[in-house]
Amino acid sequence: MHQRTDRAVREKPLAAPLLDAIPRQPGPGRPVTPGPAAPPPPPARRVRRWPRLLPTPAGTPFTFGYLMVLVATSLFMEFADPATVAAVLRESSTDVAHLGETPLLVLAASALWVVGGLTSPVVFVLALVLTALERRIGGWRTAAVFVLGHVVATLATEIPVGISVVAGHLPESSLHRLDYGISFGLMASVGALTGLFTPLVRTLVLGGLGVMLAIDLVDLSSPLTDWGHPLALLFGIACWPLLRRAGAVRSR
């Protein structure tokens, strides 16, 4: 804003008439300043984005650290004494019996083991999903989605088993079963990540997952797992409003 003053300003007459709206033209000896460099072609941009799909200690500390833990536990499963491995897995199981005795311990320990070890394709999918989610919403929120999805789906499937045993609809042997793995947390993370996709990609991903989960529910080869996966996916979808706001703030 310009401020007015009481001082008078004397205007000097112009030494030469002004040229009306004629820009100065560069002479033959005047160098022309080059304009801004053109952006790199799309293929170069795509190549530059590929490393962002992989976890790094600095860029995605939660994903990188969690994957290192899974590598260590998978190597233990592969090379340790089989009897010791079986005992550790039993104590890490989130069956009703262990949830009633040491709930916090087994809920945490059960997410440290991969069914099938490092050769399972779930590990590769987990790395891609958690990396993409953490780069958009940060490590703490990504960890919260994964852990809460794992816990909610586990309790939602195991508590009905305990109630059914008490009511006499299931035998007491149902209280003791081997239940561990990362699939519930992974499915919740996938559900949350789809909320950050474009509508077309979101529809395709959720449609494909819906068909896959429906087939599992029809076969029902593993009832608790087959019901837990859609519950975990729905939990991740329920996180969309919070995660979209977090992603918008982080991208500014």
223-236 per-position pLDDT tens digit: 999 999 999 999 99
- Do residues 157 and 229 touch, judged by C-beta distance below 8 A? no
Tell me the pLDDT tens digit for each residue of 60-93.
999 999 999 999 999 999 999 999 999 999 999 9
Q: CA-to-CA distance for 247 and 252, rounded, in angstroms? A: 9
pLDDT of residue 247: 56
Report the residue count for the chain. 252
Q: CA-to-CA distance for 67 and 72, rounded, in angstroms? A: 9
Q: How far is CA 170 from CA 166, 175, 179, in A?
A: 8, 9, 17
Q: Residue 7: which pLDDT band, with cuts at 50, 70 and 90?
A: very low
- Do residues 149 and 184 touch, judged by C-beta distance below 8 A? yes
Neighbour tally for 202: CB within 10 Å? 16
Q: What's the fold here for domain 56-250? A: Rhomboid-like fold (1.20.1540)
- Do residues 177 and 95 touch, judged by C-beta distance below 8 A? yes
Q: Could you tell me the pTM of the whole model?
A: 0.78
The two tokens of residue 86 are: 């079986």
pLDDT of residue 245: 74
Residue 25 has pLDDT above 80, yes or no: no
